[in-house]
Amino acid sequence: MGRIEALLSRMTLTEKLGQLTMSAADQAVTGPVVAPVIAQGLARDVRGGAVGSVLNLYGSERVRAMQRLAVEESRLGIPLFFGLDVIHGYRTLFPVPLAEVGAFDPELWEQTAREAAREAAREGVDMFFAPMLDVARDPRWGRTVEGPGEDPTVGRALAGAKVRGFQGTDLAAPDAVAAVAKHFCAYGPVQAGREYASVDISERTVLEVHMPSFAAAVEAGVAAVMPAFTDLAGIPMTAHRPLLCGWLRERLGFQGVIVSDYNAIGELMAHGVAADRIEAATLALQAGVDIDMVADAYRHGLPVALERGLVNETQVDAAVRRVLALKERLGLFDDPYRRCQGPGPEAADALARRRSLARRAAASSLVLLTHHGAVLPLRPGLRRLALIGPLADAGAEMRGSWVAAATEHGQISVLEGLRQALGADVIAHTPGVTLSGADTSGIESAVQSCETADVILLCLGEAGTMSGEAASRAGLDLPGCQRELALAVLERAAALDKPVVAILFSGRPLVVPWLFEAADAVIAAWFPGSEAGHGIADVLTGRASPGGRTPISWPRSVGQIPIFYAQRPGGRPFAPNNRYTSQYLDVPNDPQFQFGHGLSYGRCELGNLRVTPQRCHLHDTLEVSVEVRNTGPRAARETIFLFAHDRLASVARPVLELKAWEQIDLQAGGQSRVTLRLPARELSFPGADLQMLFEPGEVELLVGLQADRACMRSVVVNLTC
């Protein structure tokens, strides 16, 4: 009999339900339940075998002490595992996911995940509640910052890269951590972009848009999945038996652990589908949820549910087996302290390596949105730079949301990065206003600082806590009186004929058309992480070329939301000069910036598009090649996107669908041919019956630098069965 069966045969019901219970310590508060109260009883519960895993406790000594209670003082000595929200780094923060995704560099995504795992796994963390894979098309929703942006193909690539990076090739390795694909599924389309609101979308959209990234995570071997807080057309995901048991476990063959979100089982009562914790626990267990995070519904509800015959011990044992199997895969039975090594002898080298990667990731994620003239990169020998705005000297804000173990200290601000790059005497720093206050008294001195400047740099945007969980915004403008500051500076700069560069820090696109109009250049930095200042200085000085492309359509107006490029055409697609076509009276249909938009310091031209074979079958692979030339003055990294459009099908298809992308670095004047490979099966889609269909007929393949048909090259291929 194996270890797990032997253990199971000896476990009491309390001990079994303990393995299905994850309790919160209070080193981080990530939910509404009062964690400190739970934390006080934690040691007692661990000794009593009434808890099987812990979240929000980290640090090798703290974890070692808690683990010792389980291993040495509980009756069966079953080790705990420890989970934490390491979303974009542990102590060394990489750019927030929405930023990093914009680098369109899966190798980078995997590298930063690997480094985060190596750093956290020395300090007791066995599980990351990451990657967050929720496709988001409504930037009012704060969690847009945590995920892959608007596109499911990007979500699939992110899922694979992050699961491989976090878990490595052997989950028992001391520097591997269990990944949790979250939040399954369709959390992004919360009604009106309001956090935790209900979700009611078509099965087709769930299948085409919100499931692919989770299927990719399962295919990559993700250890666990976390259902979303939300309901899907009235069925809470935490109790969604058809999708958890039917699709995830049976259809995809997922054999890992399903861990609820924070108190989500208890919240089935608030959803109105459970009268009490007994019914809530019953619904969740029957749906296939193995671990109850924080709600204590399993511990207190399942004993009664068992007595009433609402659930049976076989269902409980199946869940316990999956939890124990995960602990075995993590190597915790062989060495419960394997991730409590603390900083090793190579800590200094490891830190230097991580910081260097964070710097490169920051530079690669910056999106040069506008660049009128040639103000960037800043010319050498700059005499005076006026650095203005509340986010110029704001190292802590550069962390964004989900900061894990990264304290406010040690984060490189824009001010620090520029002082090191240009020299402290070149920089004249004036905050002007606070991030969200109403005091405008500092604007005048900020405006004054333009007088003697060669270039003016505005650092504007949101606080890190204005995006992430529980951070929806109904308006997407600059907080506080930053707009007043910016307008005053822009006006004076125009009068002085001095260039203004603006950097926007945010967890979502901000609706500031007036800034894009008036500034000489605008960069979307999102939240670049621990090396923000250095990465930004590298791009501003030309040491690095801006490589980011926006992974989400950038709205011109909140009224356009949800706005995304992969729209179905409808029966009256927009046509100019025809009132009776799809449009607004007051705002253009197109976004401020299309998905994939981002300028470089080069100038990229595409030509000579070829595709083979012209006629293809399901098992063929299409090769689409295009000539890429950099006719600009400086080296650049370009991202070439491949889209598809099935003009005539049994189901109306989106006007564009991203299928692949490639990146290329080109020197000034350089040219090369880029080949994008696309398995023809990727052109299948859910037919009218929602079964995948490879439908004969013509499909247009389009290659471009962003989701804008006006600047694409296209070719038609024929699908044949």
Helix axes 297-307, 277-287, angle to 10 degrees: 90
Please report how close the Cβ of residue 288 comes to ligand GLC at its closest, in angstroms. Answer: 18
Write out the two tokens for 618. 């399901």
Structure tokens at 394: 């704001």
Rounded to a whole number of angstroms, the minimum distance from the CB of residue 330 to ligand GLC is 18
Nearest residue to 138 (alpha-carbon basis) of 81, 210, 82, 75: 210
> Among residues 234, 180, 324, which one has the least CA distance to residue 242?
234
Q: Is 334 exposed, middle or buried (0-12, 13-18, 19+ CB in 10 A)?
A: exposed
Give the nearer residue to ligand GLC in terms of CB position, either 129 or 661: 129
Q: Which of 126, 261, 290, 292 is catalytic?
A: 261
Strand ranges, E, within 381-476:
385-388, 427-430, 455-461
Closest by CA to 120, choosing from 87, 146, 98, is 87
Minimum CB separation of residue 538 from ligand GLC in Å reads 32
> In this structure, what are the phi and psi dihedrals at residue 296, rounded to the nearest 5 degrees?
60, 20
CB 564 within 8 A of CB 597: no
Q: Closest distance between ligand GLC and the C-beta of residue 466, in Å?
A: 17
Please state the closest distance from residue 55 (CB atom) to ligand GLC, in A: 6
CB of 403 within 8 A of CB of 415?
A: no
User: What are 21's two structure tokens?
Assistant: 């219970």
Nearer to ligand GLC, 150 or 469 (CB): 469
Give the integer Cα–Cα distance in Å for 525 and 503.
Answer: 6
SS3 287: helix
Q: How far is the CB of 182 from ligand GLC (least distance, A)?
A: 5
Separation of alpha carbons 672 and 674, rounded Å:
6
Minimum separation from the CB atom of position 560 to ligand GLC (A): 27
- The residue (of 527 and 593) whose beta carbon lies closer to ligand GLC is 527
225 vs 488, beta carbon nearer ligand GLC: 225
Binding site for ligand GLC (CB under 6 A): 30-31, 55, 85, 129, 182, 261-262, 469
Q: Could you give the CA distance from residue 454 to residue 240 in angstroms, rounded to a whole number? A: 60
In whole angstroms, the minimum distance from the beta carbon of 53 to ligand GLC comes to 12
Q: How many CB atoms lie within 10 A of CB 371?
A: 18
Token digits of residue 437 = 């206050």
The residue count of the chain comes to 721
Respond yes or no: is residue 134 known to be catalytic.
Answer: no
Nearer to ligand GLC, 181 or 460 (CB): 181
Please identify, using beta-carbon distances, which residue of 85 and 151 lies nearer to ligand GLC: 85
Please give the structure tokens belonging to residue 138.
């409504």
Strands (E) in 399-532, as ranges, are 427-430, 455-461, 500-505, 521-524
Single-letter residue type at 422: L
Tokens representing residue 111 in the block: 């590298």
Instruction: Between 29 and 711, name the residue whose CB sits nearer to ligand GLC.
Output: 29
Residue 720 DSSP code: -
| Cα–Cα distance list, 657 to 216, 381, 627, 646, 683 (Å) | 18, 46, 22, 9, 10
Q: What is the CA radius of gyration of the chain?
A: 26
Residue 522 C-beta: closest distance to ligand GLC, Å: 31
Identity of the residue, 156 or 182, whose beta carbon is nearer to ligand GLC in the bound complex: 182
Reduce the DSSP state of residue 341 to 3 states and report it: coil
Cis peptide bond prior to 131, omega within 30° of 0: yes
Of 55 and 699, CB closest to ligand GLC:
55
Q: What is the largest CA-CA distance in the chain?
A: 83
Active site residues: 261
